[in-house]
Amino acid sequence: MHVNGVDLCVQTFGDPAAPPVLLVNNSLLGWPAEFCARLAAGPRFVMRYDLRDTGRSTATDPDAPPYVLRDLVADAAGLIGALGLRRAHVAGFGVGGWIGQLLALDHPERVASLALLCTRPTAPGPSDPDLPEHSPEIMEFFMTEPEPDWSDRAAVLAYQAAARRRLAGSHPFDEAAAREDAGRIYDRTVAAAPPGAVPRKIHPANQIASTFAALDSGDRWRERLGELTVPTLVVHGEEDPFFPLGNGEALAREIPGAQLLVLPRTGHELPRPVWDTVVPALLRHTEVAAAED
């Protein structure tokens, strides 16, 4: 769909007449199809999409993105309208949680309810002193582990599986499934390069990391969380090494009326063992908000 001056790859599940739920991550495959189908059976009209510079959406140079964080927020707001909707229930995971927070703050007319999964109330870079930072172990991996040749599919899948293992909690880790997921993401990624450069295959996990590191995030928004009036559910892994649990606790504390769901043995992830908890929680949350709406 052409939205806000760019092309966004979107996939929908379920009955368009059901309450709409917009899922925000980096690649749309960050929300597994079976997870989306379970939500759609709610019934819900579920929408997932690729952010700019991921998957099949508009690709630029992710090391020098010609847009800012608020453009990604405007993309989400425009997508809701382009799909013929007045508003939607919005769920954002990780970096998608930043987009969800700003969407609810800056475009409240588009948000019926908000779910924030494994995210924090501050932008990329050093966090606030009262919030726990990335674990030393995960930072050591990302800072010292040599990046693979991003044109070598096998090397990329091995690297991504190793990264996912370190982001995971103490649930049993399925390395074969992690490699399969990484392969699906790799195979549908658009090659991006600056003008005049040789196009290169970039894995979305690397794209989003380099993009957000280079992105202008604009003004802080943590101090504005008290302005939120939409029903909010915060979901966070008890063992999240990337955005440790204190970040989710801060969100739940500072957003009026927010509810906190802590997932035992869970890292920076939504592993299959927690779906039986998370899907019903999202359905209950959006059901109450839909009734109020």
User: What mean pLDDT is predicted for residues 256-266?
Assistant: 98
Buried b (16+ CB within 10 A) or exposed e, 67-77: bebbbbbbbbb
Contacts of 158 (CB under 8 A, 6+ apart): 148, 179
Interaxial angle between packed helices 204-214 and 175-187, expressed in degrees from 0 to 180 and rounded to the nearest 10:
70
> Does 193 score more than 80 pLDDT?
no
Beta strand pairing call for 88-93 and 45-49: unpaired
What's the confidence (pLDDT) of residue 215? 82
What's the confidence (pLDDT) of residue 202? 53
Place of tokens 């606030």: 128
- Within 10 angstroms of residue 248's Cβ, the number of other Cβ atoms is 28
What's the confidence (pLDDT) of residue 198? 43
What's the confidence (pLDDT) of residue 286? 96
> Does 197 score more than 50 pLDDT?
no
Buried b (16+ CB within 10 A) or exposed e, 12-31: ebbeeebbbbbbbbbbbbbb
User: What mean pLDDT is predicted for residues 17-34?
Assistant: 96
Of 84-98, 138-152, 263-277, give the lowest mean pLDDT range: 138-152
What's the confidence (pLDDT) of residue 130? 98
Count: domains in the chain: 1
The CA angle 27-181-171, to the nearest 5 degrees, is: 110
Name the band, by pLDDT with cuts 50, 70 and 90, for residue 18.
very high
> Does 288 score more than 90 pLDDT?
no
Rounded to the nearest integer, the mean pLDDT of the chain is 91
Q: Which tokens in the block code for residue 42?
A: 């709610």
Taking the C-alpha atoms of residue 216 and residue 8, their distance in angstroms, rounded to an integer, is 20
Name the strand (E) or helix (H) holding 99. Answer: helix 95-106
> Does 61 score more than 80 pLDDT?
no
Q: Which tokens in the block code for residue 33?
A: 């199809």
User: What mean pLDDT is predicted for residues 268-284?
Assistant: 97
Which residues constitute the domain of residue 43? 2-291
Residues of the chain with pLDDT > 70, as a percent, come to 90
User: What mean pLDDT is predicted for residues 245-272?
Assistant: 98
> Does 209 score more than 80 pLDDT?
no
CATH number of the structural domain spanning residue 37:
3.40.50.1820
The larger pLDDT score, comparing residue 38 to residue 153, is at: 38
What's the confidence (pLDDT) of residue 189? 82
Taking the C-alpha atoms of residue 248 and residue 116, their distance in angstroms, rounded to an integer, is 8
Contacts of 198 (CB under 8 A, 6+ apart): none
Taking the C-alpha atoms of residue 252 and residue 232, their distance in angstroms, rounded to an integer, is 8
